[in-house]
Amino acid sequence: MTVSIITASYNNIETIESTIQSVLTQTYPNIEYIIVDGGSTDGTVDVIRRFDSAVANWVSEPDKGLYYALNKGIAMASGDVIGFLHADDVLHDLFVIASVMKLFLEKKCEAVYGDLVYVARNDMNNLIRFWKSCPFHPKLLRQGWMPPHPTLFVHRKIYEQLGTFNTEMRIAADYDMVLRFFKHPDFHSEYLPHVLVRMRMGGISNKNLVNMLRKSMEDYKAMKNNRIGGFKSLVWKNLSKLSQLRIFSGER
């Protein structure tokens, strides 16, 4: 099986190289790596060009935001499975993709997800938040549950059947997509109980108070659009993050 990994970037010159390297050093051989850049002006494109021979496909042109870029990447992808790695993030170790694809082959599932750690922007070893997930059960959706979306790998046929990201949303289209996929009775997912991604703090959803409030409003809209949960689910969703906050010293 081939896995397509899509990175959306825009003016990420400080982090894009570590993101690219974490994909290109994976032990799994069948990776189609796609980079969709939004027309960066800070030198990001120069970094991408240095890896031109190792990247399957890349483009740099203005777009309307993150979810437009990810949808463009999905349209460019030809792999059996699609995953995303944002330009601020890195895969946790060299064996992430091999472990994910092994589970796809063994379980014949439509999706695989795992755990995620948030790290300090300037120190990838400074772990701030540990998002530990769990095996899926339908009742979890009404409790505001979602898998760590940067760790979610989905079979390409699911995007063809159930659609891609809702670009009317600016922050919570990933949650809307999770609800749409996981509520489907034939959607079979598997949980891989390992850290798959290291995510730098300071992303769009937690950048400032305004974005955090907008994220909650869009989360609520996603629940209503998918007829799953309501205000209580939104409260549970936000409170669950408190237990993920912990201070680590050194490497995990």
- Domain locations in the chain as residue ranges: 3-244
In whole angstroms, how far apart are CA 211 and each of 9, 119, 206? 19, 19, 6
- Average pLDDT score over residue span 99-124: 95
pLDDT of residue 208: 52
- DSSP 8-state assignment for residue 181: H
- The model's confidence at residue 123, banded by pLDDT at 50, 70 and 90, is confident
The per-residue pLDDT for range 155-194, each reduced to its tens digit, is: 999 999 999 999 999 999 999 999 999 999 999 999 999 9
Nearest-Å Rg of the Cα atoms of the chain is 17
For the cut 50, the answer to whether the pLDDT of residue 229 exceeds it is yes
The per-residue pLDDT for range 51-97, each reduced to its tens digit, is: 999 999 999 999 999 999 999 999 999 999 999 999 999 999 999 99
| C-alpha dihedral, 132 to 138 to 144 to 149, nearest 10° | 50
Reduce the DSSP state of residue 195 to 3 states and report it.
Answer: strand
| C-alpha dihedral, 31 to 194 to 172 to 221, nearest 10° | 130
- The model's confidence at residue 235, banded by pLDDT at 50, 70 and 90, is low
State what percent of residues in the chain have pLDDT above 70.
88
Q: How far apart are the first and last CA of the chain?
A: 30
For the cut 60, the answer to whether the pLDDT of residue 231 exceeds it is yes
- The model's confidence at residue 111, banded by pLDDT at 50, 70 and 90, is very high
Amino acid, res. 234: L
- Average pLDDT score over residue span 3-7: 98
Give the list of residues 6+ apart from residue 35 with CB closer than 8 angstroms, or none: 6, 7, 8, 9, 20, 48, 55, 57, 58, 59
pLDDT of residue 188: 97
State what percent of residues in the chain have pLDDT above 90.
75
160-188 in b/e burial notation, b at 16+ Cβ within 10 A? Answer: eeeebbbeebbbbbbbbbbbbbbeeeebe
pLDDT of residue 122: 87
- The model's confidence at residue 247, banded by pLDDT at 50, 70 and 90, is very low
Q: Mean of the per-residue pLDDT values for the chain?
A: 90
Nearest Cα to Cα of residue 222 among 42, 214, 198, 30: 214
In CATH terms, 3-244 corresponds, of 1.10.600.10, 3.30.160.620, 3.90.550.10, 3.40.50.150, to 3.90.550.10
For the cut 50, the answer to whether the pLDDT of residue 248 exceeds it is no
Alpha-carbon distance 29 to 32, whole Å?
9
Structure-block tokens of residue 192: 């891989």
- Average pLDDT score over residue span 34-60: 97
pLDDT of residue 250: 37
Structure-block tokens of residue 11: 């003016």
How many helices and strands (H and E) does the chain possess?
A: 8, 9
- DSSP E strands: which ranges in 3-93? 3-9, 31-37, 57-60, 81-84, 89-91
